[in-house]
Amino acid sequence: MTDAIPDDEGRSWVIRVPASSANIGPGFDVLGLALTRYLTLNVTSVPSTPAAAKVVLSYKGEGAAEAPLDPYKNLITRVALYVLLSHDLSFPSAVVTIDITNQVPFGRGLGSSASAVVAGVLLASALGDLKLSQSRVKDYALMVERHPDNVTAALVGGFTGSFLRTLEPSELSPSSIPLAEVLPAYPPNAGPPAPGSPLPPQPPISVGRHVKYGFGKDIGVVVVVPKFEVETAKARGALPAEYSKSDVVFNLQRLAVLTAALSQSPPDAEVIWEAMRDKVHQPWREGLVPGLSKILNTLTPSTHDGLLGICLSGAGPTILALVSKVPSTPSSTISTDDSEITPVSEAELGRKRMENVGEAIKKVWSKEGIEVEWMALEVDEKGATLMEVI
């Protein structure tokens, strides 16, 4: 006797999660910015017999040579399994095909792990028909990622500020639960855990709180990505255990100003430049990112037209620069190679300014013998999306 295959053509979804930058200027562990580079999953689930059920991964783009294709090793599917098990479910009795396309480089400070974790929670919501709210998606993501800045920006989009709320004594803090209990290591050729297994640790409800700030449409984002990684644990380890009162006040003052200044049009370069300064994490990480000090101290609005501010993206090593796309004067011009002065459109002006900043940072790093890629991006306002394909 064989199991009957359910008479169902199956379901398909597209999951898309943006890259993100955190620690914007003085906003260490607070500010996040969603960016127009994406982790995309094309998912199909076709019902099958239990014996034929499987999860098949394919992967292309950034990190394709490194990303495991075993669903019990890959971060996205491990997170999905955690969320499913939390609802007393497992992978469905189906052939699940997940085609992953990734534009977010690994280990460069652009939120690759946050994108993967958010994608995994949304994958579980789709496969288990869980219909998780945005707040609950964030709760599960924070059980794995633990820091809300990247997760929040990737999930809700835009320019965000976030924190973890103060928990009641009866609630378990995500950071107090070993990650191995949330995402256990599975042996080779592992199958889905048996139904009825003990539920994994559950996240507190609405543990992460956030606001979305305005972000001026006149501001473009340049990210300059070097061809080396900085381990997050090493970057965290470079930070001191205590800070002086003056350094904390320095950052708090600029944080309060920056969140308002970035929403204004036209952007004020003098205000934003000074408000992007930091004394909490960047000075301590200069030894991990060759050339960082020179980049932060030699590129200014006076040396590069339209430049608003520069900072490390996340823990680095990527550099993030904000650039004004609007003219400083009513009629702006660009000098061409033959030294002629040519009037330009606002769009062309923005592109040229971002190119100038990207190339200038690239030049500094090239003198350090470091190969880089720079990208002109925008802020993604939508955040993560889960769409069923009918």
Q: Are 293 and 361 in contact (CB under 8 A)?
A: no
User: Can you tell me the distance from the alpha carbon of 138 to that of 204, in angstroms, rounded to the nearest whole number?
Assistant: 11
Answer whether the bond into residue 71 is a cis peptide, omega within 30°.
no
What is the H or E stretch that residue 232 is in? helix 232-237
Of the pLDDT bands very low, low, confident and very high (cuts 50, 70, 90), residue 8 is low
Angle between helices 148-156 and 134-145 (to 10 degrees): 150
User: Can you tell me the distance from the alpha carbon of 118 to that of 104, in angstroms, rounded to the nearest whole number?
Assistant: 13
Rg over alpha carbons for the chain, rounded to the nearest Å, is: 23
Reduced to 3 states, what is the DSSP secondary structure of residue 327?
A: coil
Q: State the chain's mean pLDDT as an integer.
A: 91
**pLDDT tens by residue, 97-106:** 999 999 999 9
**pLDDT tens by residue, 309-365:** 999 999 889 999 999 999 875 545 554 444 555 566 778 998 999 999 999 999 999
**pLDDT tens by residue, 240-285:** 999 999 999 999 999 999 999 999 999 999 999 999 999 999 999 9
**pLDDT tens by residue, 197-247:** 788 999 999 999 999 999 999 999 999 999 888 887 888 899 999 999 999
Mean pLDDT of 142-148: 93
Q: What's the confidence (pLDDT) of residue 346?
A: 76
What are residue 61's phi and psi, to 5 degrees? 100, -155
pTM of the predicted structure, to 2 decimals: 0.91
Mean pLDDT of 33-44: 98
Least confident of 143-157, 164-178, 189-203, 272-286: 189-203
User: Can you tell me the distance from the alpha carbon of 77 to that of 367, in angstroms, rounded to the nearest whole number?
Assistant: 41
Q: What's the confidence (pLDDT) of residue 123?
A: 98
Residue 50 has pLDDT above 80, yes or no: yes
